[in-house]
Amino acid sequence: MTDYQVNCIVERLCQQLHLAIRLKGTEVFPPNVKELGFDSGTVRTVFLTGLNLAGVTIQHPAEGPSEEPPWS
């Protein structure tokens, strides 16, 4: 899985969590659930922890150009 895919999933999860809270309205327990917020940093951490436990690795893009061409 790539870092880009993780970011897309986290964004979608945040949207779905916020929607679920809005649709549930005042019936949600505990009453402060609307104040909890599901910021992308927290959702990303939980999601990556779950992926790690499942044995899924995340491929991060290479940082900067390599000094040596790959064919040398």
Closest-CA residue to 44 (of 13, 20, 1, 2) = 13
Q: List the structure tokens of 27.
A: 């019936």
What are phi and psi for residue 31, nearest 5 degrees? Answer: -65, -20
Burial of 10 (C-beta count, 10 Å sphere; 0-12/13-18/19+): buried
Q: Give the tens place of pLDDT for each residue, 13-32.
A: 888 887 877 776 655 555 66
Residue ranges in the chain whose pLDDT is less than 70 = 24-37, 62-72
